[in-house]
Amino acid sequence: MSTSHWAIAVHGGAGTIERRHLRPEQEAAYRAALGRVAEAGGVVLRAGGSALDAIEAAIHLLEDDPLFNAGRGAVFTARGANELDASIMDGATLAAGAVAGVTRTRHPISLARAVMERSSHVLLVGAGADAFSKANGVEQADPSYFFTERRWRSLENFAKAHDLPVPPRPAGDHRPDPVHALAHDEGKYGTVGVVALDISGNVAAGTSTGGTTGKQWGRVGDSPVIGAGTYASNAACAVSATGTGEYFIRLGVAHEIAALVEHKGLSLQAAADIVIQDKLTALGGDGGIIAVAPDGQVAWSYNTSGMYRASLAANRPLVVGIYKDEP
Ligand code: ASP
């Protein structure tokens, strides 16, 4: 039953991320954060913990880190709010949970897990999801907790560029945060995701995001859509995505990769490359994925110039990468 190995991969978003865009201290901050997150998941897996527990622990760190567009550090909508999306899936049972447009939960990944484990539903949205969160004792946070100066400035720039009114500044800590100087914003999607294989041979995937800056009308991307931004099946693999969500939804990216592995017997890397390098690129979408299979294969594929990523596995050292010319 035991496959005696485990593996984890992490992403913190993909996009136009080139060496000349990042100062050494910015690059170091991202690399350190990604490494810490992979190690935190690795601690759970090494001790025999489940893939779901490793994912939840690792994504908590990413949701708390304002470098990334998830939890604290999430981007603002056009009306000046943080509306958070997340999803999680258990490859052993095909159970899944997701939330979209939530505003009061510190760790949306834990709310997605609560939907999976404590409701008979898969996807809850908006005020109903906020109410479910409170009723189920998931850790609450005032909306002002999610405010970061850096994301607010991004929204102001977005509003000006798109001829939209700049909404009133919401409550929050308006001091320039130290991260402001370290974060890299231009042309990137900062969604976070983790995929893991535990020593019982089960895979799982989770994704968490603030979506896209200046989103309007209750727009929801791929991150909370099972099959698009997140998918896991022990019959194939676990996948988490980041990028232009509308394209990932149209291609059912995460499920498509799993289907190629399961039905065509492709390697994880080959399946990921067909969907990202060929299909996503042909359709005009940008972004990437991380994936892990029950036999320990780990893959990532992205069609942007960079993706924040890390992986760690039993008997394999930590790998952290940002740019295209890295492993
Ligand atoms: N995929 C996310 C969305 O469309 C954005 C991202 O990856 O940063 O909401």
Question: What digits encode the pLDDT tens for the residues 101-139?
Answer: 999 999 999 999 999 999 999 999 999 999 999 999 999
Q: Is residue 203 part of a domain?
A: yes
Given ligand 1 and candidates 85, 186, 191, which is best to mutate, with the most ligand atoms within 8 Å of its CB?
Answer: 191
| 270 CB-side CA count, 13 A | 8
Higher pLDDT, 23 or 286: 286
Looking up residue 115, the CATH number of its domain turns out to be 3.60.20.30
Task: Please state the domain count of the chain.
Answer: 1
In sequence order, which ranges of 12-107 are alpha helices (DSSP H)?
24-46, 51-64
Residue 181 has pLDDT above 90, yes or no: no
Please choose, from the candidates 13, 6, 7, the residue with its C-alpha nearest in 3D space to the C-alpha of residue 193. 13
Residue 30 has pLDDT above 70, yes or no: yes
Q: What is the pLDDT of residue 186?
A: 60
What percent of the chain has pLDDT above 90?
A: 87
pLDDT tens sequence across 248-300: 999 999 999 999 999 999 999 999 999 999 999 999 999 999 999 999 999 99
pLDDT tens sequence across 131-169: 999 999 999 999 999 999 889 999 999 999 999 999 999
Given ligand 1 and candidates 223, 230, 239, 289, which is best to mutate, with the most ligand atoms within 8 Å of its CB?
Answer: 223
Q: Is residue 238 part of a domain?
A: yes
Q: Is residue 194 part of a domain?
A: yes
Q: What is the pLDDT of residue 112?
A: 99
Q: Is residue 188 part of a domain?
A: yes
CB-count exposure of residue 318 (10 Å: 0-12, 13-18, 19+): middle
Q: What's this model's pTM, rounded to 2 decimal places?
A: 0.96
281 is catalytic: no
Q: Is residue 1 part of a domain?
A: no
Residue 224 and residue 51 in contact, taking contact as beta carbons nearer than 8 Å? no
Rg over CA atoms, the chain: 18
Please choose, from the candidates 88, 14, 99, the residue with its C-alpha nearest in 3D space to the C-alpha of residue 54. 88
Question: In angstroms, how far is the first alpha carbon of the chain from the final one?
Answer: 31
**Cα distance between residue 38 and residue 32, in whole Å:** 10
Residue nearest atom 7 in ligand 1 by C-alpha distance: 242
Ligand 1 binding pocket, CB closer than 6 Å: 13, 69, 189-191, 209, 211-212, 221-223, 242-243, 245
Instruction: Give the domain extent around 247.
Output: 7-323
Q: Which atom of ligand 1 approaches the CA of 219 most closely?
A: 9
| Strand-pair partners of 206 | 88, 194
pLDDT tens sequence across 67-84: 999 999 999 999 999 999
Q: Which atom of ligand 1 approaches the CA of 248 most closely?
A: 1
**Cα distance between residue 196 and residue 11, in whole Å:** 12
Please give the distance, rounded to the nearest whole angstrom, from the Cα atom of residue 190 to the centre of ligand 1: 7
Q: Which atom of ligand 1 approaches the CA of 188 most closely?
A: 8
Strands (E), 93-249: 95-102, 123-125, 188-189, 192-197, 203-209, 230-232, 238-243
Residue 35 and residue 113 in contact, taking contact as beta carbons nearer than 8 Å? no
Q: Is residue 29 part of a domain?
A: yes
| Mean pLDDT, range 85-113, rounded to an integer | 98
**Cα distance between residue 237 and residue 108, in whole Å:** 23
Q: Is residue 2 part of a domain?
A: no
Please choose, from the candidates 136, 78, 65, the residue with its C-alpha nearest in 3D space to the C-alpha of residue 104. 136
**Cα distance between residue 204 and residue 237, in whole Å:** 8
Given ligand 1 and candidates 63, 189, 194, 225, which is best to mutate, with the most ligand atoms within 8 Å of its CB?
Answer: 189
Token pair, residue 71, equals: 């939890």
Catalytic member of 77, 103, 105, 191: 191
